[in-house]
């Protein structure tokens, strides 16, 4: 039997202060310069604190930042594809010196972490946009968030006083250490992780169950951090996941937990980050579907597959499972993909665009059962009835 997969870099990071250390840091925090951070940075603080971004212990310094942007690796050569940084305004940066400590607070005033400033350096936003996101267009939501951030990056380790407050999905919020303990308790050695920011339709159900055929267990791990405004809200999606878990997945071989990271819509580069994070949560395999973490027409259909070829399997360790576009095949009377369908006739495939599905749901119409479970469609239809509730 294979051994439990090691965290990225070999050690599962824990930056959450505890006991007397936390009390001392809380007292110190009241005397420090305060920097308020947005929802995305809150999510990054949480991911660093719990080890989801292992081996990071804080926000990236310049050498790591440059290597990640230019070469998709940390300065020590470890695969990493998206900068994890803290951007502040020039005015704020001018008030801070290297070796200073500052407190990072949520928008509602909760003191989340103390950053020990190891470096200050300029934020090369356009280069980061072009290389990380593949575009400098502000229409891209990840690029827009990047451009809205500050001009100077502060780097250094963080000591986390408390995780961002969440009163939703409390029972489904598991740290990497807790997920690994659950996997051990269940005796799972081969675990496949599934990243999603959408309701699970029949094609998703098909690929997750295919992956489950070759593993011991499946972790459905929906992202619940910051997403763009027209994505289906996490509260609605979770109802869909819970329904499917209750009725259509084997309870003894499937777990549902939430992934607290923010969405960056960085396509192939984010696919690598998602795989690394799931490795930290204890997964040995990771599903990479069509246009993983994509948005609009910025990335090729299978760019998120091809990027894995840039890394040796021994570097990544987690095994990617690549899936083609899937649909209901009328000829074979079941779910299939371009790889497995016996027919090339589009008329023999039930494929609906997101626009078509939204239009049907907005009219109270249930899409074909071959596309989505009717019970899931009903949850989405009810969400559409709430005024100004965009899904």
SS3 283: coil
Confidence of residue 137 (pLDDT cuts 50, 70, 90): very high
What is the mean pLDDT of the segment spanning 30-50?
Answer: 97
What is the mean pLDDT of the segment spanning 157-169?
Answer: 96
Confidence of residue 355 (pLDDT cuts 50, 70, 90): confident
Q: Helix 354-362 crosses helix 374-384 at what angle (to 10 degrees)?
A: 70
Is pLDDT at 354 greater than 80 in this prediction?
no
Tens digits of residue pLDDT in 284-326: 999 999 999 999 999 999 999 999 999 999 999 999 999 999 9
Which residue ranges form the domains of the chain, and what is each CATH number? 19-160 (3.10.400.10), 171-384 (3.40.50.620)
Tens digits of residue pLDDT in 266-294: 999 999 999 999 999 999 999 999 999 99
What confidence score (pLDDT) does residue 386 get? 61
Separation CA 221–CA 82 (nearest Å): 20
Is pLDDT at 391 greater than 50 in this prediction?
no
What confidence score (pLDDT) does residue 93 get? 98
SS3 34: strand
Is pLDDT at 88 greater than 50 in this prediction?
yes
CB-based burial, 131-158: b 16+ in 10 Å, e otherwise: bbbbbbeeebbbbebbeebbebbbbbbb
Separation CA 186–CA 340 (nearest Å): 33
Q: Are 202 and 39 in contact (CB under 8 A)?
A: no
pLDDT cut 70: percent of the chain above it: 98
Catalytic residue among 197, 202, 264, 349: 197
Q: Is 247 a catalytic residue?
A: no
Catalytic residue among 111, 173, 198, 358: 198
């Amino acid at each position: 039997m294979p051994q439990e997969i090691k965290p990225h870099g070999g050690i599962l990071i824990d930056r959450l202060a505890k006991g007397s250390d936390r009390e001392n840091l809380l007292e110190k925090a009241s005397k420090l310069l305060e920097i308020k951070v947005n929802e995305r940075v809150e999510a990054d603080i949480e991911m660093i604190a719990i080890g989801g971004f292992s081996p990071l212990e804080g926000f990236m310094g310049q050498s790591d930042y440059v290597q990640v942007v230019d070469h998709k690796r940390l300065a020590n050569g470890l695969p990493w594809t998206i900068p994890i940084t803290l951007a502040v305004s020039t005015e704020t940066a001018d008030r801070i010196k290297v070796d200073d400590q500052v407190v990072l607070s949520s928008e509602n005033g909760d003191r989340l972490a103390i950053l020990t400033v190891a470096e200050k350096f300029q934020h090369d936003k356009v280069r980061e946009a072009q290389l990380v996101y593949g575009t400098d267009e502000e229409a891209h939501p990840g690029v827009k968030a990047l451009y809205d951030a500050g001009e100077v990056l502060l780097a250094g380790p963080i000591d986390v006083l408390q995780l961002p407050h969440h009163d939703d999905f409390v029972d489904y919020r598991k740290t990497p250490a807790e997920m690994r303990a659950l996997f051990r308790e269940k005796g799972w050695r081969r675990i496949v992780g599934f990243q999603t920011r959408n309701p699970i339709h029949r094609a998703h159900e098909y690929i997750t169950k295919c992956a489950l055929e070759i593993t011991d267990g499946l972790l459905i791990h929906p992202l619940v951090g910051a997403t763009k405004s027209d994505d289906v809200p996490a509260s609605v999606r979770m109802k869909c996941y819970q329904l499917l878990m209750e009725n259509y997945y084997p309870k003894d071989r499937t777990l549902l937990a939430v992934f607290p990271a923010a969405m960056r819509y960085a396509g192939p580069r984010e696919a690598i980050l998602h795989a690394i994070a799931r490795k930290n949560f204890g997964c040995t395999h990771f599903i990479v579907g069509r246009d993983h973490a994509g948005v609009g027409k910025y990335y090729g259909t299978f760019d998120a597959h091809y990027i894995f070829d840039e890394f040796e399997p021994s570097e990544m360790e987690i095994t990617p499972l690549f899936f083609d576009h899937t649909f209901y095949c009328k000829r074979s009377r079941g779910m299939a993909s371009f790889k497995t369908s016996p027919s090339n006739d589009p008329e023999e495939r039930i494929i609906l665009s997101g626009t078509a599905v939204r239009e049907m749901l907005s009219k109270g119409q249930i899409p074909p059962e071959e596309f989505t479970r009717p019970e899931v469609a009903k949850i989405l239809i009810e969400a559409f009835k709430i005024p100004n509730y965009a899904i």
